[in-house]
Each structure stands twice: as C-alpha cells, then as structure tokens.
Amino acid sequence: MFFYMTLILCFMCSILITPIVKKLAFRLGATDRPNDRKVHEKIMPRLGGLVIYISFMIGLFIMRPDSPHHLGIMAGGLVIVLTGIFDDIYELSARVKLVSQIIAALIVVVWGGVQVNFINLPFGGMLEFGGFSIMITLLWIVGVTNAINLIDGLDGLAAGVSSIALISISGMAIIMGDVYVITVGFLLLVSTLGFLKYNFYPAKIFMGDTGALFLGYMISVLSLLGFKGVTFISFIIPIIILGVPMTDTIFAIVRRLVKKTPLSAPDKSHLHHCFLNLGFTHKQTVILIYAISALFGLAAFIFSLTTMWGSLLLITIILLSIELIVESVGLVDKNYRPLLNMLQGRKYVKNR
C-alpha cells in the first residue's frame, strides 16, 4: 500500500509541478522556436523533463530503493539532467552533449558497476566480452539515450513511447522478481505519465533534452539491470522492447550514410515525419507509433516465454515486419523497396 501511495504522490507531483516549470522555462529562455524542420508553429516552453526528474526523485527519496548500483545510476542521471537543462536553455553542440552522455555512462559503469560481462549462447557455451564489456555497455547506454532523444519530434511521442517501454521493462522485472527495477521503473513511469497530461497533443510544454535524455538514460540502465549477464534470448528482450526508437535510429544512420550527410545532421525523415507525409494527422501519428511500441512490448513478453525455435521464428517475423514498415513509409528513401518490389514482382508473375 505504501508503494502505491508513493506512485500516486509522484503522479500528482508531476501534474502540479508542470505549470511552475512552464513559467520557469519562459523566464530562463528555455523555449523551442518553430523552423522548417519542426512541426509546431509557435514558441513552446521546453525544460519539461525537469518535472519528470523532480517527481521521480521525490519518489526515490520516499522509497529509498536498495541496490549496489543505485548511487552510480543517480550520479550519472544528474549529469544527464544538467546537460539537458543547459541544452534547453543555451542549445549545446552535439559534441558537448555526446561527451556528457559518455561521462554519465562511465559513472554508471565504473562507480555503479553496471556492465554486460557475458551472455550464454543458445546452443551451449558462453560468450565473454572481457575487455569489451565496458565498451559494449557504454554503446548501449549512449545509443538508447540518443534513440529516445531522436523520436522526440511530436507532442507526447517520446513520453508515450518511453512509458510503454517502462511498462514492458517493469512488467518483465515483476516476472523476474527484480524489486529494484520494479520500484525505479514504476516511479519513473508515473512521473512521466503525469507530465504527459500537458505534453500530449496539443502540447502545452515540451520535455526538451532534459526529459528525452534522462528518460533514454534511465531506460537504457534499467534494461541492463533487468537482463544483463544472462542468456542470448534474454539479451534480445530489451532490444525488442525498444524496437521503435532503435529502428528509427538505425535507419536514420543508414539514411545519412546513403545520402552521404553527417550522422549528426538533422532531417525530416524520421518515422513520425514519414507517417505525417503519408497523410496521417499529428495525433493519429502519435497514437499509431504508440500502438507499434505496444506491439513490440507484447512481442518481448511472448519472446521470453517461447522455446528456442519459437524465439528464432518470432525474431524472423519481427525483422520482416520492420523491413516492410521501413519500405512502406520510406524511412530510408522513397525508392528503397527491395522486399516490396520482390513481393510485387512475384504477385505480377502469378497474375500472368
């Protein structure tokens, strides 16, 4: 009962603090001005991630979850939040933000002791990462942090997708009996949902990099805590849960490599932009991506319960589905349609 009361308190704090942070954002100049790359048409306050962080920290102060990793995780989180605050106010360069993310990740790895050291292979044996374990862990934390940041392009999108991911991770933690991940995951979830009341379309405030980076960072760390050092199959589960932001990020990299543009160059070809270009409204696009995220979360639960061959079949279905979506919406390029062209070619031959 005490835990549930704390969750309600965090949710209410998030709702009550948001209008205060909104006024603070305008006062500090933490605003987002419209341009040709953005979909909003008026100056919007950002810094909303500070609401999520404050509400979450209130819950942590009350619950005091116990874990040897806790202080390292919170210290890294503070670095991320400060980076986000400065970026929302002063717009830091991509290089500065990346260095800050690496520092935060290093704090988690070195001080917090969070590392992926090995995985048990499907058909026997163990793959030990050895000296590469730190690098792999850093890449995961920085990669997921940026993946959540990249999908923060529509009202309520990053907050909603993050909430679905947190539900999935916390749900898996219940099955695995991981009290720390359950506690931290649900505290972060309700803090995000309270903010979503003001962030969903039409948004009254943006979470900014303060929120997107912090949510990405926490999701990356919680997923590592829940699934590190176990089987290859379990190692795949957080990747499936984060299917939407990771797919968007991977194909954004592919798209920029194909077009020979810098990896850090912004564009209007992300998944949400593609759905908008297909004629979906702002709200429809967000709800559609929510639905896809929920399907990934459901697939992760099914994946954890199936046999080895069932898991391999599910991975194949997921990969084919992702490829079909990517080609259908033009996530890489409008002319990139190898699988669709092959299917249409076979259909044409059959009809003849």
Domain for residue 55, yes or no?
Answer: yes
How many CA atoms lie within 13 Å of 73's alpha carbon, on the beta-carbon side? 25
Percent of the chain at pLDDT > 70 equals 89
Q: Does 176 reside within a domain?
A: yes
What's the CA gap between 22 and 20, in Å, rounded? 5
Question: What's the pLDDT band for 310 if we cut at 50, 70, 90?
Answer: confident
With a cut of 50, say whether residue 309 has pLDDT above it: yes
Burial class of 147 by CB neighbour count within 10 A (0 to 12, 13 to 18, 19+): buried
Q: From CA 1, how far away is CA 4, in angstroms rounded?
A: 5
Triad 140, 146, 147: Cα angle to 5°? 85
* Residue 122 forms part of a structural domain: no
Give the domain range for residue 88. 2-117+128-351
What's the number of domains the chain is made of? Answer: 1
pLDDT score at 343: 75
Predicted TM-score (pTM) of the model is 0.90
Taking Cα atoms as reference points, which of 151, 46, 144 lies closest to residue 104?
144
**CB 178 within 8 Å of CB 307:** no
Between the ranges 9-13, 264-268, 339-343, where is the mean pLDDT highest? 9-13
N-term to C-term CA, the chain: 67
348 band by pLDDT with thresholds 50, 70 and 90: very low
Nearest to 305 by CA among 125, 116, 172: 172
In a domain, residue 306? The reply is: yes
Give the per-residue pLDDT at 349.
45
Distance CA 223, CA 221 (A): 5
pLDDT tens track for 126-148 = 677 777 888 988 999 999 999 99
Which is nearest to 62 in space by CA: 200, 183, 217?
A: 183
